[in-house]
Chain A
Amino acid sequence: MLEKFLIFGGLTAFLLAATFPFWQNAAPEDYPKVAMETKGEQCVAPASYMRENHMQLLNEWRDSVVRDGDRFHIMPDGSKVEKSLTKTCLGCHVSQEKFCEECHTYASVKPYCWECHVTPKSGAHTELTGIETEKLEEDNLLNNLLVRNRVFVAGNLNFAVKQQ
């Protein structure tokens, strides 16, 4: 009788231990609570794209700004914003800790943007500093900017027209 008890007890214990990962996963997951409030109406690209590809987009922005001097991004509605993580992204998404860090901590990703780029203080960016649609009229651009920017803007305008 005692053997029976031992055998079945042991088996149950084993089964419980072996299936522990499944049990653990059955518990409701503690998803990150990403702050979704923004100051602007639209994002530089559709949210679904940004969710999956923001790192690629940031890399492209970095390379085009640093290497080619292409400093402006054409928004879906045709307006221009500066290609800037600190000014455009975090000028709109209010908090670095609650928007970036929350998810990165959950996914255990450690990007080193903030080793050099200055973290905007939470809520410090009261205005959309990167978004200067009114100021950057085409004439103004052509007068003030370098040839490299002119070429870029012309190319992008063509692109925007084609898109419509």
Chain B
Amino acid sequence: MTENRRKFLKKSAGVIAGAGVVSGFISKYATGFADAATEKAVTKKKIRWGMVIDMRKCVSGCEKCIDACHLTHNVPDFDNPKDEIKWIWKSDYHKVFPSKSQQFVAAETREKPFLTLCNHCENPPCVKACPTGATFKQSDGIVEMDFHRCIGCRFCMAACPYGSRSFNWRNPRPAIKNITPDYPTREHGVVEKCNFCSERLAKGQQPSCVEACPEKVLTFGNLYDKNSEIRQVLKDNPTIQRKPELGTNPSVFYIT
């Protein structure tokens, strides 16, 4: 059989038309699934936990939030800045807000130790960096860690632009003064960070730092709930986020 150009073109046209019909059917069903998937995503995305830190109210010498957090989560204290494990800590203003836009800030603000913790970014770089999936983002916006899965590669520490992650260079157990039996400790060779007290949220409680603060510096709540206290605070006050230029969309906001 001779195959001339005319016949070949006719056949190809038939094949392409057939493929078009089939793909039409497929895409119809596929969009059906996709719609269901988006619907699911929307219902799941009812919660995005966030925090507002009102630094105007924060007292310089007070570390009650830090103590409460460290007690709740068995955070070790190695008494050595190289081994330090940080969940919530105080840092210098210029380290927390290194962007050049923060110029001519009042000395009172500039010299104050600023409260910092994991920002639970909407777009977390640490999650992308983690090769084992030990760090992941929950449907409620919390960037959570599965300590069982962490292999201690520390990619997440390199990826986090806020220094919110710490590595256990030594066995943390001996460095914990009072062990809280309700929460596990970590092992040597595991990374850890703030988890927004997801274990307390599940019981309907506020994070322990929020609860411990006597000055009501910290406001915690659902950023997706328009009627929540946190949204009211955000509406009433000008707030800033850490390194907004990176596009990580932190869930922690500051009133300075």
Q: Contacting B184 at CB < 8 Å: which of A118, A145, A147? A: A118
A146's partner among B43, B74, B201 (CB-CB below 8 A) is B201
**A101-123 to B contact mask, C-beta < 8 Å, 1/0:** 00000000000100111101000
Selecting from A18-26, A36-44, A45-53, A65-73, the interface stretch reads A65-73
Does A149 contact B187, Cβ atoms closer than 8 Å?
Answer: no
Interface contact B181-A86, CB-CB below 8 Å: yes
How far apart sit A67 and B134, CA to CA, in the bound complex (Å)? 10
Q: Which one of B138, B187, B202 contacts A115 once the chains associate, using CB atoms below 8 Å? A: B187
- Dominant secondary structure at the A interface: helix
Do A66 and B146 touch (CB < 8 A)?
yes
| B201 close to A62 (CB less than 8 A) | no
Q: Is B63 an interface residue, CB under 8 A from the partner? A: no
Complex alpha-carbon distance, A92 and B47, angstroms: 35
Instruction: Answer whether A117 and B138 are a contact pair too, CB < 8 Å, given A69-B198, A145-B202.
Output: no
**Known A67-B146, A69-B202, A116-B147: A147·B182 in contact at CB below 8 Å:** no
Q: Which of A87, A116, A117, A147 has the most CB of B within 10 A?
A: A116
Give the chain A neighbours of B94 by CB distance below 8 A. none
Binary contact track B173-188/A, C-beta < 8 Å → 1, others 0: 0000001111111110
User: In whole angstroms, what is the CA distance A1 to B182 when docked?
Assistant: 78
Q: Is B148 among interface residues, defined by CB-CB distance under 8 A?
A: yes
Does A54 sit within 8 A of B, measured CB to CB?
A: no
Pairwise interchain contact B140-A116, C-beta atoms closer than 8 A:
no
| Interface residue? B238 (CB, 8 A) | no
Q: How far is the CB of A100 from chain B (nearest CB, A)?
A: 16
Cβ of B223 to closest chain A Cβ, rounded Å: 14
Report chain B residues within 8 Å CB of A117: 184
Whether A62 touches B148, Cβ cut-off 8 Å, given contacts A67-B136, A116-B187, A146-B202, is yes
B187 close to A147 (CB less than 8 A):
no
| Residue of chain A at shortest CB distance from B74 | A118
Closest 4 CB pairs of A and B: A144-B204, A116-B184, A118-B181, A117-B184
Q: Which residues of A are interface residues toward B (Cβ below 8 A)?
A: 62, 66-67, 69, 71, 86-87, 112, 115-118, 120, 143-149
Q: Could you list 29 examples of A-B contacts with CB < 8 Å?
A: A62-B148, A66-B144, A66-B148, A67-B136, A67-B146, A69-B138, A69-B140, A86-B182, A87-B182, A112-B187, A115-B187, A116-B185, A116-B186, A116-B187, A117-B184, A118-B180, A118-B181, A118-B183, A118-B185, A143-B204, A144-B204, A145-B202, A146-B140, A146-B201, A146-B202, A147-B44, A147-B139, A148-B139, A149-B202
